[in-house]
Every structure is written in C-alpha cells, then in structure tokens.
C-alpha cells in the first residue's frame, strides 16, 4: 500500500527552513505539512499564508495545509492563491462543511477533513463524495511532540473500512505522535499518509529520519 511522508514545518528550525525542507525531500518526503493554528480552536498560534508562499518558493512539491482555526472557510481563496495543494479543516470548527469542501475543489485544491480524537466518523459520512483526504488526529490538536493516542489505530481501521465501502479514493492521513514505533500499526490499520514533525525535524539527520519512517512501514507490511 502507498506510503506518503509529510513532515510538519511546525517542528522545523524556521531560521534554516530551506536547508531543512530540502533535506526532508532528499530523504524521500512526499508533501510538506503546514499546521495553521489561531489561538482559538486550539491554544497555540502559528503561521498562515506567508508560510505557504515561502514553501512555494522552496519547492514544487505539494503543500499540505492543516487548518486548526475557527471558521476556516475565510482562508480558502487566500491559501489557494498562496499555492496550497491540500486544504484540510476541522468540521468541528464550522457549519456548512459541504459548501466549503466544494469551494476548495473549485479553487483547484484537494479537499480534506480532520477529525479530533473524540470526533466520530459521522462527521464525514454524508460528504464522502466531496473528500480527497481524511485526516485522523492521533493527538489532540495544538502542539507537536505529543504521544500517539493508541485508540487512533482502531479509528484508522474504521475510516479505511468506510473509504472502501464507499469506493472512495481519498487519502487517509494520520497526524500526531508518528514515530518509527507508531507508524507501522497506523499503516497496517489502513493509513497511507503520515504527518511527522518531531520525528523528522527533531532528528540530527533529517533525510535518514524520513527513510527510517518509511522503512518502519515496510517492516510491518
């Protein structure tokens, strides 16, 4: 099964962003994950369109944007113009989910929904046709460096079953606490895309860290 690695720049040394991003892609990363936090939906405050534009200048690979903000629909047009390839938001943070998914696709981006650990699959069941990506949070959103919540593995398997049952080709991404010790179980449960912040940008050798995550999937496959 597919294995995509998406390092999260939240854990990168922003003073050496170019070198760190290049090292991650040299190690085999597929996407670059951008965590947008507003200090309301989650306690932390990070970055927005300027980070997307900066990455756009550094790479032509997919910029995978994860919005942990209230009313994410306000940023669809701006992030599309900034060069986001994937726009993933939380259904817990807005009302008209289907309208926003359709708008994201109209703007040429892939549309994703992220589910907090306590959020049931019912939040995605009615919009499967509008989804290009489902993100299962394996930590409560807001910070890097947290531990993987073990219950996430069974939730990944349920999402995989839902995608297969509805013949959806959407990517199944998992986010939070992904390391060489946790990625194997998430992959075996059906995830195909893996966000990793600390495990990649916290490593002494970024390129090798990406390779080690991929190898840990193959070992369990």
Residues in touch with ligand DX5 (CB under 6 A)? 8, 10-11, 33, 35, 66, 68, 139, 141-142, 144-146, 175-178, 195-199
> In this structure, what are the phi and psi dihedrals at residue 210, rounded to the nearest 5 degrees?
-65, -45
- DSSP bridge pairs for 8: 33
DSSP state of 119: -
Which does residue 73 touch among Zn ion, ligand DX5, none (CB within 5 to 8 A, set by kind)?
Answer: none
- The helix or strand, by DSSP H or E, that contains position 214, with its residue range, turns out to be helix 206-220
Residues in 155-194 at the binding interface with Zn ion, rule: CB under 5 A: 175
Total binding residues toward Zn ion, as defined by CB under 5 A? 3
Nearer to ligand DX5, 202 or 215 (CB): 202
- Contact between 90 and Zn ion by CB under 5 A: the answer reads no
Which does residue 117 touch among Zn ion, ligand DX5, none (CB within 5 to 8 A, set by kind)?
Answer: none
- The helix or strand, by DSSP H or E, that contains position 136, with its residue range, turns out to be strand 133-137
- Name the residue with the smallest CB distance to ligand DX5: 197
Cβ burial, residue 219 (10 Å; 0-12/13-18/19+)? exposed
Closest CA to 33 of 94, 85, 100: 85
Q: How far is the CB of 141 from ligand DX5 (least distance, A)?
A: 4
The label of the residue with tokens 């995989």 reads 160
Q: How far is the CB of 95 from Zn ion (least distance, A)?
A: 22
Active site residues: 35, 175
Nearer to ligand DX5, 28 or 108 (CB): 28
Nearer to ligand DX5, 142 or 211 (CB): 142
- Contact between 35 and Zn ion by CB under 5 A: the answer reads yes
Closest CA to 62 of 16, 29, 107: 29
Residues in 43-72 at the binding interface with Zn ion, rule: CB under 5 A: 66
Q: What angle do CA 193, 211, 3 make, to 5 degrees?
A: 25
Task: Give me the residues that bind Zn ion (CB under 5 A), please.
Answer: 35, 66, 175
């Amino acid at each position: 099964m597919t294995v995509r690695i998406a390092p999260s720049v939240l854990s990168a040394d922003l003073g050496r962003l170019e070198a760190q991003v290049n090292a991650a892609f040299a190690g085999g990363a597929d996407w670059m994950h951008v965590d947008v936090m507003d200090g309301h939906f989650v306690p932390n405050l990070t970055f927005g369109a300027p980070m997307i534009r900066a990455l756009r200048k550094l790479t032509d690979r997919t910029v995978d944007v994860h919005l942990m903000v209230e009313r994410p629909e306000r940023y669809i047009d701006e992030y599309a113009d900034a060069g986001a390839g994937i726009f993933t938001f939380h259904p817990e943070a807005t009302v008209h989910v289907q309208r926003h998914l359709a708008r994201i696709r109209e703007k040429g981006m892939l549309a994703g929904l992220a589910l907090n650990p306590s959020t049931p699959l019912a939040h995605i069941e009615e919009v499967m046709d509008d989804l290009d990506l489902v993100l299962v949070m394996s930590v409560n959103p807001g910070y890097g460096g947290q531990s993987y919540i073990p219950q996430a593995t069974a939730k990944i398997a349920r999402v995989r079953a839902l995608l297969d049952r509805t013949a959806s080709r959407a990517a199944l991404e998992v986010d939070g606490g992904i390391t060489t010790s946790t990625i194997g179980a998430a992959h075996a449960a059906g995830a195909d895309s893996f966000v990793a912040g600390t495990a990649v940008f916290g490593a002494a050798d970024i390129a090798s860290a990406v390779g080690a995550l991929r190898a840990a999937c193959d070992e369990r496959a």
